[in-house]
Structure 1
Amino acid sequence: MTDLSASPSKAWFVYLVRAVNGALYCGISDDPQRRFTQHCSGKGARFFHSSPAQALVYVEACADKGAALRRERAIKGLAKVAKERLVLGATMEKTDS
């Protein structure tokens, strides 16, 4: 008999938001668009108190919350130029489709 109470693992994402001052913020969420909207409204990360959120520039799907947290830590450890390459790669994928 199948256990119907066990739900499939929820999708989690790591994302980058560009602030007005050009800085990139990295976070995780199960709904990046909703989280970006929260950042724009001044709720959420204190990061955006000094420079408001401008654009959701990168979203990467992860297997689960743990994987998203590990990927977030890895991205936060990258130099800004490497983060910009992620953004550029995501932009290039959109224009190629």
Structure 2
Amino acid sequence: MPAARSDAAWVLYLLECRRGESTVYYAGISNDLPRRLQAHRNGKGARFTRAHPPLALVATRAYPDRSSASKAEAALKKLPRARKPAFFAAD
């Protein structure tokens, strides 16, 4: 998994979350990734991750601003599940 650049203001991330016996992906953005991941783990993040606890951080990608991170998040969420991890390998 590629690490986010420390000089970037915003990070797009992909979590693998538990849903019953299977897993699902959750995509989000943050300007403080460690704090946001801890919030997800503590059940204080998004409503989705409160219901489907995160299992692993799958991938991250850094963006210079919130606007570009939000656009990337929207594009990622439109992809089929199988193609979501590959989104982070493409540049």
Q: Which TM-score tier does this pair reach, normalised by the shorter chain?
A: 0.7 to 0.9
The code of the aligned residue for 1:27 comes to: G
Identify the structure with the greater helix proportion. 1
The code of the aligned residue for 2:51 comes to: S
Aligned residues: 80
TM-score (structure 1 length as normaliser): 0.73
Sequence identity (%): 38
Cα deviation for residue 85 of structure 1 reads 2.8
Identify the structure with the greater strand proportion. 2
Q: Which residue of 1 aligns with 2:38?
A: 37
* 1:13 aligns with one of 11, 14, 18: 11
- Aligned Cα RMSD in Å? 1.9
Q: Which structure exhibits the higher relative contact order, with contacts defined as CA atoms closer than 8 Å and separated by 6 or more residues?
A: 2
Q: Which residue of 2 aligns with 1:65?
A: 66
Gaps of at least 5 residues in structure 1 are 1-9, 90-97
Give SS of 2:12's match.
strand
